[in-house]
Amino acid sequence: MRNAECGMRSGEGEAPAEPVQLRSGSNLEKLLRGEEFVVCGEMSPPQSVDSASIAKKCAYFKGFVDAVNLTDNQTAIVRMSSVMSSYFALSGGVEPIMQMTCRDRNRLAMQSDILGAYAAGIRNILCLTGDHMRFGNHPDAKGVFDLDATQLIQMVKQMRDEKKFLCGEEMKQEPRLFIGGAANPSGEPFEMRVLNLAKKIAAGADFIQTQPVFDVPGFEKWMNAVRDEGMDKEVFILAGVMPVRSVKALLYMKESVPGMRIAPEYVKRLEPITEKEAAMEEGVKIAVEIMKQLREIPGVAGIHIMPVMWESITPRLVEEAGFLPRPEVPEDESNGQ
Amino acid sequence: MSKTSESIASFCQRHPRLHACALLAENAIKIPVFRCQDCGQCILSYTGFTCPMRCPKQMRNGPCGGTSEEGRCEVYPERRCIWWLIYRRAKWMGRVNKLRRLQGPADRRLEHTSAWLNVFAGKIEPPSWGKD
> Which residues on adjacent β-strands are paired with residue A300?
A237
Q: What percent of chain A has pLDDT over 70?
A: 92
Coil, strand or helix: which one is A65?
A: strand
pLDDT in tens, A77-131: 999 999 999 999 999 999 999 999 999 999 999 999 999 999 999 999 999 999 9
- A28 contacts A178 by C-beta, under 8 angstroms: yes
Coil, strand or helix: which one is A126?
A: strand
B36 and B47 co-located in one domain? no
Within a domain: residue B73?
yes
* pTM score, whole prediction: 0.92
Within a domain: residue A326?
no
pLDDT of residue A13: 44
Within a domain: residue A328?
no
How many domains are there within chain B?
A: 2
Contact A146 B62 (CB under 8 A): no
Average pLDDT over chain A, rounded to an integer? 90
> According to the 3-state scheme, what is the secondary structure of chain B?
CCHHHHHHHHHHHHCHHHHHHHHHHHHHHHHHHHCCCCCCCCCHHHCCCCCHHHCCCCCCCCCCCCCCCCCECCCCCCCECHHHHHHHHHHHHCCHHHHHCCCCCCCHHHCCCCHHHHHHCCCCCCCCCCCC
DSSP H helices, A204-333, are 216-228, 231-234, 247-256, 264-270, 276-295, 314-320
Residue A162 pLDDT grade (very low, low, confident, very high; cuts 50, 70, 90): very high
Interface probe, candidates B37, B43, B46, B61, chain A, greatest A C-beta count within 10 A: B61
Q: Is the pLDDT of residue B59 over 70?
A: yes
Contact A132 B105 (CB under 8 A): no
pLDDT in tens, A264-298: 899 999 999 989 999 999 999 999 999 999 999 99
CATH number of the domain enclosing A298: 3.20.20.220
Contact B77 A151 (CB under 8 A): no
How many domains are there within chain A?
A: 1
Could you tell me the residue range of the domain that residue B56 belongs to? 42-105
Whole-angstrom Cα distance, residue A105 to residue A29?
27
Within a domain: residue B129?
no
Within a domain: residue B64?
yes
B55 and B21 co-located in one domain? no
Quote the Cα angle for A300-A303-A308, to 5°.
145
CB-nearest partner of B62 from A107, A199, A259: A199
pLDDT in tens, A224-260: 999 999 999 999 999 999 999 988 888 888 877 777 7
